[in-house]
A and B are shown apart, each in its own frame.
Chain A
Amino acid sequence: MPRRYGPYGGSFVPETLVPALAELERTWRSARRDPAFRRELHRLSTTLGGRPTPLYFARNLTRRGRGAQIWLKREDLLHTGAHKFNNALGQGLLAVRMGKPRLIAETGAGQHGVATAMIGAALGLRTEVYMGSVDMERQKPNVDRMRLLGARVIPVTSGSRTLKDAINAALRDWIANVRTTHYLLGSAVGPYPFPAIVADFQSVIGREIRRQAVRSFGRLPDLVVACVGGGSNAIGTFRPLLSTPVELLGVEAGGRVGSHGAASLSYGRPGVLHGSFSYVLQDADGQVAETESVSAGLDYPGVGPEHAWLKDSGRARYVAVHDHDALRAFHWLAKDEGILPALEPAHAVFAAVGAARRRPKRDHVVVTLSGRGDKDLAVVLRESH
C-alpha cells in the first residue's frame, strides 16, 4: 500500500500522532492477512450490514436519458443507510484489535456519524462524534439517530461550522487522547494510512460491481459514476476497476451557479489540509476556503489524495454539478424509480444521466447510489418549493 499517489498523500501531522498512525498501519496490515479478521468482517458485512447490495437496472431513468442503460449500485440499502457502514465496520474492528475502548469521529451529513455510533454500540466502544453546528441543523434526523444509538454528539462552532471544522476538532481530541482513542476517520482523506485503509474497506463496492455487472449484463460497465466529497464511495467504486478499461467519472459539488461550491479537484490547487497533500480550495496565502453545497456530505474543501492523482494521471475524470441540478436529479429518481437518494449521490445521478444521453443504447453506466435521502427531506422540501 503506497504512502503516496504520485506526489499526493503523505503524512503532515503533529508529531504526537505519529506513534498512533504507525500502530494503526501495523494493525491494519496484520488484520488484512488474518483469516479470522476477514471472516469476522465478512460475517458482519453480510449479517449486520446486508451486503452484498444489489445492482439495480433503472429502466425509467434510462428512458429519461434516451441513451446508455443506467444501473444503480444500491449502497443506500446498506445498514444505517449509506456506504459509510463499510469503513466504520472495518475500522471499528481495527480499534478492537488495538484494544482502544473509545471511538471518535467527524461527520458532515451525519451518515458517517450514524455508522460510527452503530458500530460503537455493536462492538461495545464508547463513541463521540464531532459535527459542525450548521450541519447539525440541516441533518437533524441523523443527530437524533446518533444519540439514540448511544453516541455523544459534540457541536463544533468554529470556522465554517461544517465538516472541515469537525475534522479539526476530532484531530485535536485525538492528539489529547491518542493512547485510549481510535479516530475513525470517515473519508479517504487525512494522513497515511487513512486514505489507504478507507479505500481498502470501501473497495467492496467496486468488487461487487464487477461481479454483478458480469452476472447482470455479461460484461464490465463502460462507465462508472460516483460523487466525491472526500471521495470514499468513489474510491471504493473506482479502485477495483483501475486496471480495467472502464471509464471513471467523479462528481463534485458545484454549489450555486457562479460559486466554486466544494469542488476542490475542479477549482482547487495542490496543498496540505488535514494531514495529506492533495487538491485544496484555498486563497493566495494558502488559507483554506469556506465551501458551500446543498449536500453536507460533499461540503468539504479538500479531497482524498488518490483522487488527486487519478485526475492528474488522466485515469479518472471529475466534473462539478450545481445544487439545483442535484435537486433535479433527486426528483427524477424519486418519480422515475421510487427511490429517495441522498443529495450527495444525486449529484452523481445528474452527471450519469447526462453521460448516458451522449452514449449509445448498448452502453452500460453504473452509478453508485451512496446513501438514502431520509436525512435530506427538510432541505429538499425547502429548496424545491
Chain B
Amino acid sequence: MGSGNDSILDMYLYETNTLLEQLDGILLAAEQADTFSQDSVNEIFRIMHTIKGSSAMMEFNNIMTVAHRIEDLFFIIREKTIDVVPEQLRPELFDMIFQAVDFFRGEIEKVENGEPLSDSIDSIVDKINSLIDKIQGNGGPEAAGPAKPAAAAESAESAAAPAAAAPAPDPADAAYPFGVHVLFDEGSGMENLRAFMLLNGLRDYAGDFISFPENVETDASTSEYIAEQGFMVWFKTREERDHAIPGVKSAGSVRSYEMVDAQAPAVSAPEPAAVTPEPAAVQPAPAAPAPAAQAAPAAKPAAKTQHAKESLISVNLSKLDQLMAVVSEIVITESMVTSSPDLKGLRLDNFTKSARDLRKLTDDLQDVSMSLRMVPVSSTFQKMNRIVRDMSKKLNRPAKLVLIGEDTEVDKTIVDGISDPIMHIVRNSMDHGLEENQADRIAAGKDPVGEIILSARHTGSEVIIEIKDDGRGADTQAILNKAIRQGLASPDMDYSQKEILNFMMMPGFSTNTEVTEYSGRGVGLDVVKKNVAEVGGTVSLTSEFGKGMTTTLKIPLTMAIMDGMEVSVGESLFTIPINSILSSIKVTADQIVYDPARGEMMKIRDNYYPVIRAKDIFQMPNGRDNVEEGIMIWVEAGERSYCLFVDELLGEQQIVVKPLPSYVNSFNVKSYGITGCSILGDGSISIILDMANLYNAAHGSY
C-alpha cells in the first residue's frame, strides 16, 4: 500500500507545499516580532498536525516524525504560551524551525523527483528534543514532555481515558453494547483499509456488528482517526463479541485489542504502555504523543474549518489549457459564422442583432477564461522574503525587502518562469550589490539596513517587474575590464553604460561561481536572461555607481486571443496588435523626409519618427511603393515609436494567436518581428507582427 495513485500524491504535494509556504510566512512575521502570537502558535500546530497526518498516510515516516516532534513542541508552547521559551532560546527556536521547514522542503522535492527519502533525521529530532528539554527545564514536568515516563504514563492514562472516552466509545446504535477496541500496529499505514479487512475477516465469526468509524472502506480520512483512537467494532451480545475475538486476533497488523462495554465509563483497562493511541511515532517516547492525541480531536476539527474557510479550488492546469483551446476555437468559429460569405449582401436585421449579442458573450467568455490562468505574483514575491532573511543572516548584512504591487496578476506560466530569475537577481543584490559592512553604508550616507524593492505593475500589454537595491551599484570600469579580459569586449571600442551593463548578462561572465545551499542551478545573469526570454520577456539593467542597481523584467502578457488590426502588403496579410497602434495616417510624398543615409522619416505633431516599409524589410515581391497609395501605421513598442508603411488597412479583428511551428521558428523569424500567425474567418492565414522586434531588425539594437 505504497503512496497510492498519482492524484493522491499530487494532492499531497500540493497541499504540503502550500502549507510550508504558509508556515514560512508565519515564521518570518514571528521572527520579526521576536515572538509567537497565540494565533500563530495555533496555526503552526495545525499545520504540523496536518503534515504529520498526511505524511503518515503516504507512509513518509521521516516527515511524519519530524512534524510530530514539532507538533509536540508547539503543544507545549500552546499550553504554556511562548513565555515558556526564554529570550535566549528564541533564536535557537526560530533557527530550528526554519531548518525543519527546509528539511520538509528537501524531502518533498525528493518525493517529487522520485528519489528515496533520507533516513537520517536524528540530528533534527535531537535538536527538537533538546529544545523541548531545555524548555521543560523551565516549565515543569507536568507539561507532558517526553522526559519522565512515569509522570507521562500517568498523564497518558488520564489523557487516554478521556481520549478513548471522547470519540464514540458508545456505539452509534445502543443495541450493540459489546465492543472490541482495536489498535493497529504503529506506522502500519492505511489504517482504514486494515480496519476494512478486519471487518471482512470478522464475518466468518459473527454476522451482525457495527463499527466506528463506519465508512472505512471508502473514506481514507478515517485512517488518522483509527491510527490515533483505534477502531471499534460493536456486537449485540457478549457471546457474539467474545466469539469474534479470534477473528480480531487473526486480523493483520493488530497491535492490541480490548473488550469494551458501552455505558461503562469507556475504558475498562487501558494498558497504558500498549494503549497510548498514537499515530505511529517511532523513536520518541510513546508518552509524549498522548497530549498530542488529546489535542488531536481538538486540532482536527480546527484543521477542517481552516479548509472550509478558503473558498478556493485547485484546478489542473491542463484542464485550463483545454478550456482555453475550446474558447479560442469558439472565437474563430463565431467570426466564421458572422462573416460567412453565404451571408454577403443579405440584410438580416434579427440575425445581426443576435450576432452582436453572441459577440458580446464570446468576449465575456474569453475574458473570464483568460483570467482563470492569471495568478497574483505574491506567491513568488513572498518566497523572496525567506531568501533575504536567510542571506542577510548568513552574510551578516541586515537587509529588508519591500514588496510593491504583489496583487498584480500574471499568467501562471509566467509566474512559474520568472520565479527562478527573480530569486537569482535578489541573491545577486544581497551578495554583490549591498555593501559588505554597515560602516560602508553609513559612510555613504545610507541607512545601515539595506533595502531591496521588488515591484510589479501592468502597462496594458506588458507586466514590468523591477528589482531595485540601494547597494554599491555597478562599477562600469571594473565590468568593462573583466569583459575585455574574457574576450567579450574589445579594448579599443567605446561602450555606452547600457552596453557595459549588458556584458554582465553574457554567458561566461559570471562574477563568482558560488554555489550556495540554495541554488545549484545555473549561475550567471545569462541564464536569467534566457529564462525570462522563454516566457517572452526581456531583462535590462540600470545602475548608478554608489547608489544601487535596478534590474527590470518586461514580459508581454501572453494573449492567446487578442485584438489585432489586419493590414495587407502585396498579397500577404499581417496582424498588428491593437495595443501597439497609436493611429493610422495617410501621407503625401512631401511629408517624407530623409536622413543622410536615405532613411525615411515623417513628422507627427512635434516629433520625427522613422518609417519602416513592410515590403522592404520583409523583402516581398509585391506591394505598393508609392507612399501616397498606402497607409502609415504609427506604432509604439516598448521605448520605440515609428511608422510602418503598408498597403491597406483591412479592419480590426479579434484573432486567435497560433504559435509558429517550431520548424519555422528555427529560422529565427522572431527577431524579424514575426511572432505568430492566426487563422481568419475565411481560413486564410495572417502573420502576427511584434512591433518591437520588427524595429530592432530594421535598425539594429539601440
Whether A and B are associated in the same complex: the answer reads: no
B interface vs A, CB < 8 Å?
A: none
